[in-house]
Structure 1
Amino acid sequence: MGKELSQVEINHWLLENLPYKMMWMDEDGAIIYGNKEFCKRLGYRKSEVTKLTVFDINPGATKESWKEHWARVKKNGEDHFKSVHQTKDGKFYNVEVFAQFFSNNGKNTICAVVSEITESSFYKNLLHHAERMTNVGGWKLNLQDGSLIVTEQALCIFDAENNDDLLPGNVIHQFKESDVIKKLLSEVMRNGTAYDEILELKNGRHVRCVTEAETKKNKVYKIIGTYQDVSESYKRANRLQFFKEIIDNAEDLIYLYNRDGKLLHYSNSVSKELGFTKKQLDGFTIYDLDARIDPSWWHNHFDELKAKGSLSLDWEITRKDGTVFPASIVANHLVYEGNDVNCAVIRNVTSIKEKENQLQEALNELSELKNELEIDNQNLRQEISDTINFENIICQSDAYRQILEQVTQVAVTDATVLITGESGTGKELLASAVHMSSTRKDNILIKVNCATLPKELIESELFGHKKGAFTGATADKQGKFSLADDGTIFLDEIGEIPIDLQSKLLRVLQEGEFDQLGATTTTKVDVRVIAATNRNLQEMVKKGTFREDLYYRLNVFPIENIPLRARKEDIPLLAQFFLEKYSVKAGKSFKRLSKKTIEALMNYSFPGNIRELENLIERAVIIENGTTLKLGNWLPTSQGIITSEDFKTLDDTQRDYIVKVLNHTNWRVSGPKGAATILGMKDKTLFARMKKLGIEKQVGLRDNQVK
């Protein structure tokens, strides 16, 4: 009886004689054991294998990858993967490895069972990947035993779970047109009629179904088929067809040319617009369509198009009957199947050109009218400036120009002027015009608003005071009259002067002198007085609130400033002036007023006169935007629209006033106390004005008789 083997010896014998390739490795990747099959496949002796590392037999392994592999096997206890091993003579082969982690007496080891991947397995794996990448699934039906083999990808296409779902009786219900696939399957099974069709599934996918039969002795015994998911390519094909229909039915002319100038494709509009039949166009080149183009020009154009990608040009297109039309061409460079293509989109711009010509003619006409208007405005402004020398007064109405003529007449004299009129009519502007046109223009113009002066201080403001003249008078102060010496003083709102101070004002007007408060000497001044009021001074005289003698001394040369509603022709000019003024201040870009805005302003009553117009335009500039000021809520309607106004003409007003002065002088025209002297006019000028206004002596006598 032989010696009994120990368990260790039995285990070692089993490892050595197992029909598997086995290897052990330590943490550093050193091979500490390889059985007989493992050594045989690698071509090493046992003594050689134990001197190798995992890096010697697996050229793709690195220290980092081995460290990660060791940690994974240690953590999970096992690992299964595919790899490549290299034999001693340098040949490679594919392997499948199943690794397990062992720990014995403090020694950690990975034991791996290595299986070589056979060639059939490789092709099976390759086929699986090819099916997945091409979305193709295969199937085979044995008609003799009814068995069905289906690939995994085929199941994925139908979202099926098992092979039976793809049996002919079941799979037909997956299609929207189940009767069509049912008929195709029936024909192939009975008669072996192959088919290749694209059908839609109920899940929305489009599947290419290809099937053929295998026969023996003219009898079908096996059906082989494929299903391919072609949803994306089907959508692309539909989109291409859709785009082709768009091109074919486009109103613009669309051409596709190759580098040789051959017409590859064109829209239906080409035949319709040019008059050629499709049969004629199918054989055309660019040279047939346009005789002006030669090969040299075409090739240069094609090279430029390819370099830039896109070109735009204006051209003339010739029809079959010889007529031409202007066109705008946009050419684009495309590449189709490796060939350069010129895609030209041509638009007939006949109507656009006509509209452009009409617009240009209108613009030219508008430009001419604008130039004429500017010339007229310049001439008018120059005429006003030359005639009355008031560049700061905007006016084109005859009514207001007559007032400015009065300013011109009185400015050259030293006569006292009384300007009356409603608030906001520009009385201060007229006063400035009188001063600037007088011989005192190089001297000062002092402006005093009597309505804003406190009554207890008004005497001090006008005439000055000495130190200690009253409580609070801590120093001497010059009054406005002293400051205006040799110049002009403008007393606005003269009706607000207290009655007890009016005598002192009268003394200045008559004698040219006054006494300062607290002074012991009289002050002499040479001052021209211009007064203004919106009150009826004659009514105040009657009520005793204004001295009659002061009134007559102020009323030497009265100028009644007319309201804005009486000089409507000036409204557009004034509004434009204020628009430009406040647009600059507000940083806006207004250039003009709309026609409707001007009409609305012309129809508005303007109770606040020019001041109200200015305020309205300033408000409108703040509210509105754009380059043209349009009508908006900024224009009030509460004051109503002008319907009729009972105004006197300036001639009537002048006539009444001259008659009044003549009555005062008993119709004496000449001499120191004559009407001409009071009116500040020459005798001949007054006679001429009387003749023009139709003033005769009997009119005055008749007026006196009435009084």
Structure 2
Amino acid sequence: MKDVLDEFQLKAKLMDQLPYEVVWVGPDAKFIYANEKFCNTIGYNSRECGTLSVLDINTTLTPEGWKAHWKEVMEKGSLNFTTVHKTKKGRFYDVEVYVQKFSYNGKNYLCAIAKEITEPNFHKKIIDNTYEIGNIGGWELTLLDGSIMATPCAMEILKVKDLEGLTPPKVIHKFKDSGRYRSLLGGVIRNGTAFDEILETNDSPPRYVRAAAKPILKGNKIYRVFGIYQDITEIKQKDSDLNFHKAVMENARDFIAVFNKEGDVIHCNKSLMKHLGYSQDDMLNQKKIFELDPGASREWWDAHFQEIIDKGSLNFERLLSRADDTQFPIDVTANHLRFNGQDYNCAVGRDITAKKMRDLELHEALQEIKALKERLEIENEYLQEEIGNKINFKSIISSSETYKSVLIQVEQVAPTDTTVLITGESGTGKELLARAIHSNSKRGNRPLIKVNCATLAKELIESELFGHRKGAFTGATAHKEGKFTLADGGTIFLDEIGELPLELQPKLLRVIQEGEFDELGGTKTIKVDVRIIAATNRDLKEMIREGSFREDLFYRLNVFPIHNIPLRARKPDIPILAQYFLEKYSVKAGKAFKRLAPQTLEKLMAYNFPGNIRELENLIERAVIIENGTTLNPGNWLPEQENLSLSNEFKSLEANQREYIIGVLEHTQWRVGGPSGAAKILNVNDKTLFAKMKRLGIEKQISAK
């Protein structure tokens, strides 16, 4: 292949300029060359195309079919045909292909030029086939990927809101004899057996729909099915009435009149005469179309009459004039009749004055709805932005009132440079809170550097945090910048801070207090401007008592503590988190899940989730892999039943309030009032806070200054 490409290099460059897909193919169906347009369309790069064959992108083609195709091109020299290609991502699209034989150095090759025609082809087929079958609502099912396309009229006839309602499993239930329609669809899909039947719907009252379908073949293989739906309820009723008795026609609501070529009224029913205010003698002996239709002229009538003869039937709207010279609009279907060697125009009309009024009212109502919708969309967009900025911080999903206090703390501390210590169990999303604090700070456009102290070896953590010079220790073959240097001007997130070795804690304390440190092996002190956010799931106060964590470092980190509550304490968030993870992993796995079953939510809400949000996410990911369908039902992916019990570890609301207020007071050194007092942080009046402290038994000596 390389030799051929080298020879064709100049021509290949020229081919890349063409606006069409161009490929060169050898006898083994392998691509020798593919231009840039072809690569972009199917989604493979040029190197990947060199490993593909025609059979990889044309899934309807077999090895035997390729041999026959090659032979035909070799004999005829060129071919022009349409087929279906498949992209790297699995999308199918129609193409028109011109292929020509050419020889080089005694070997034969094919040059194929393709152009995508998917959309124009579909609409052309809709027009052509619906005209052939009935010019009503058309649909087309692609068997390669199960996708369906349809005209709005087809959806309106069967009263479905989206295309999914027209798929075979759904549409059969629209008819009273669903088994019969299932058999008809199965016959055309599997055996290519066309059908044209009238079926009764399940509507009340029932309607009659003509359903017809035929296969679209590629060779001897069915790859699409085209069909139509036609609501013939009124036609069926009219036919029945006309056949029942002539009197039914005479008293029909519709206006019926027969005209000859000269425009004379040959026949009309009672409904038309009554509506116009003329007697039978007036209508049959004196009236012409020009008197009934004030807009009709001789030239128009002659052209109109000839058009009806040519087309057989026309549908249009006109204005009729009554005997009192008032006018009203009608909807007319004019049909060509041939009787005793003469041509006639049989017109069936209906007064559409009320319909026009309804259309006008509907148009005005739709305009009003459109304006309201646009206003609601603008308001919703604004509210979503406000919620994202003030409460959820866009990446945090929560509707729990309990969790709102945590997010309020994030909002309060984010604009400052204050050091933050986030505590809480594993899996509660401490990193998300850190990202929210950083993103909403004045350092948000600078990097957030994350360091997990638990995953670094003790002998490497100092180098990782503070960097080293070449030759500082065995294996230090080059200079390396530490994470604090990288975070300069931004934020560093020290996750699992409780795992930081005791011997490194003074160095971290120095960075917090002085904003400086020394690299390993370095001779120059490095100054940095870094905001520090630390997180841990351990009890640092207990570690202080054990001697494994420095007390002075703890107080430097614990300037603004945020306790991230466990998932079991914010149970209202379980449904929305589970739905978020369901949608996330359904997309990744290519599954069709849309919702969780009520029984599934009930079991999830009853579970304690010791692993918190991370455990919930893992559960949903496993469920998406195991289960199928559009609704996630309970299954063996759920935890054991004995673990599904309500937590008894919760504190009372007053206990949580007391603990939180004490934490804020410790932060303010027990100052209640003033611009930096606890009342300011809690956004309450000084007296209100004093009263609540008294009620909750908070009695430590305080200052109101």
Normalised by the length of structure 1, the TM-score is 0.46
Normalised by the length of structure 2, the TM-score is 0.46
Q: Which has the larger radius of gyration?
A: 1
